[in-house]
Amino acid sequence: MQQRPTIVLATRNPSKLREILAVLGDAPFELVAPDEGVAEPVETGLTFAVNACQKALCYARATGRWCLADDSGLEVDALDGRPGVTSARFASDRCPPDAERETIDRANNTRLLEELKDTPDPMRTARFVCHLALADPRRVLAQTFGTIEGRIGWGEQGNNGFGYDPLFLLPSMGLTTAQLPAQEKNAISHRGKAVRHIAGILRNLLTATPG
């Protein structure tokens, strides 16, 4: 039996890795996390697309493999699109550099609620955005993105998901994305949409690539 091609997923966030693997299911390639020795690139882009491409190329060149990189975050309309590309480090000034991911998430959510404390429901609209880039060591091969619209709630609800999920309310469902089972969330989420799209592109690229 022919061995499945290996693609490096350029993230050290275990929650992102878990979600992407769950969406891909029985894809004809194997996704692996980068080795610990590969340094993470500094994200200098002003958009999710630029950061995703930077990460994909950096890891591809460091590993010599095809790499898939995700850059994603939360855009809040009342905050002029913030936290945006700084979503993961929105409250970095409140956390030590070596803080655990859960500690960082709580700090980010607390800051978001503080900044929106006087913002009424109709103005708390927001969206999750995910941009994916696939690269080999020479160039970016493909890009996709996905979004999901919602609203920021007044307090955390739900224990599933990660990041801003406990605050991201889906008005049509009356639930946050942290209250949805993983399979249901992945079916409608920004990351789920982007991953399903890139999976089709990957299959076509692998079919067209000799060996």
71 is catalytic: yes
**Do 57 and 94 touch, CB atoms closer than 8 A?**
no
Q: Distance (Å, rounded) from C-alpha 5 to C-alpha 171? A: 41
Q: Distance (Å, rounded) from C-alpha 211 to C-alpha 208? A: 9
Q: Distance (Å, rounded) from C-alpha 1 to C-alpha 16? A: 30
The region, left, alpha or beta by phi > 0 then psi within -120 to 50, assigned to residue 50 is alpha
Nearest CA-CA partner of 150 in 84, 80, 76: 76
What does the CA dihedral 11, 15, 19, 22 come to, rounded to 10 degrees? 100
Helix (H) / strand (E) containing 152: strand 140-152
Any idea what the Cα angle at residue 179 is, between residues 187 and 106, rounded to 5°? Answer: 110
Sort strands 125-135 and 175-176 into parallel, antiparallel or unpaired: unpaired
Question: Of the listed 35, 70, 71, 77, which one is catalytic?
Answer: 71
> What residue type is 171 in one-letter code?
P
**Catalytic residue numbers, as ranges:** 71
